């Protein structure tokens, strides 16, 4: 079995996270396809379309943000560190909640404008 085959993020098999090296078990039955590590939230660029495993990139995909869908469901925005490909992936029930929170709050710790701008909009 090659390294790439072993690292395929298939929901039916255990894989080793490319980022943190932890062993990730298949998703529980009934849940969505496992496409990222529940511990560090990183993924891998293995799909051209979700689930097809046809990408030749195989780069590590960094969790870079949270997208809240219209129905309130959270998705993680992953960006490939190798080619820059962006993809949204559904949050899984066993994802690390503190890491999700930290990811969602990160932009608030790095505002690209002075905080006073926010205070000045009060009452609008």
Residues 100-119 that bind Zn ion (CB under 5 A): none
**Smallest separation (angstroms) from Zn ion to the CB of 88:** 15
| Binding-site size, Zn ion (CB under 5 A) | 13
Going by C-alpha positions, the residue among 42, 38, 49, 88 that lies closest to residue 63 is 42
- Rounded to the nearest 5 degrees, what angle is found at the Cα of 50, between the Cα atoms of 69 and 24? 90
Using CB under 5 A, pick the residue from 45, 78, 79, 87 that binds Zn ion. 45
Least Å distance, CB 44 to Zn ion, is 9
Residue 48 contacts residue 58 (beta carbons within 8 Å): no
**Binders of Zn ion among 50-89, rule CB under 5 A?**
57, 59, 80, 82-83, 85
Q: State how far the Cα of 31 lies from the Cα of 19, in Å rounded to an integer.
A: 23
Closer of 81 and 124 to Zn ion (Cβ):
81
Work out which of 20, 25, 86, 93 binds Zn ion, going by CB under 5 A. 20
27, 92 in Cβ contact below 8 A?
yes
> How is residue 122 written in tokens?
């009060």
Q: In 3D, which of 1, 57, 7, 56 has the Cα closest to residue 36?
A: 7
Q: Considering only residues 34, 35, 36, 40, which one is a binding residue for Zn ion as defined by CB under 5 A?
A: 40
- Residues of the shown chain interacting with Zn ion in the complex, contacts defined by CB under 5 A: 17, 19-20, 37, 39-40, 45, 57, 59, 80, 82-83, 85
């Amino acid at each position: 079995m090659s390294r790439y085959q072993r690292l395929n993020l298939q929901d039916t098999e255990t894989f080793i996270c490319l980022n943190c090296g932890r062993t990730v078990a298949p998703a529980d039955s009934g849940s969505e396809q496992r496409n990222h590590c529940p511990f560090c939230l990183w993924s891998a660029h293995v799909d051209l379309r979700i689930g097809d495993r046809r990408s030749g990139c195989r780069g590590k995909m960094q969790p870079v943000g949270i997208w809240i869908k219209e129905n309130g469901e959270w998705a993680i925005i992953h960006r490939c560190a190798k080619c820059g490909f962006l993809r949204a992936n559904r949050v899984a029930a066993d994802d690390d909640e503190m890491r999700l929170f930290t990811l969602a709050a990160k932009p608030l710790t790095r505002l690209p404008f002075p905080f006073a701008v926010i205070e000045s909009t009060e009452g609008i």
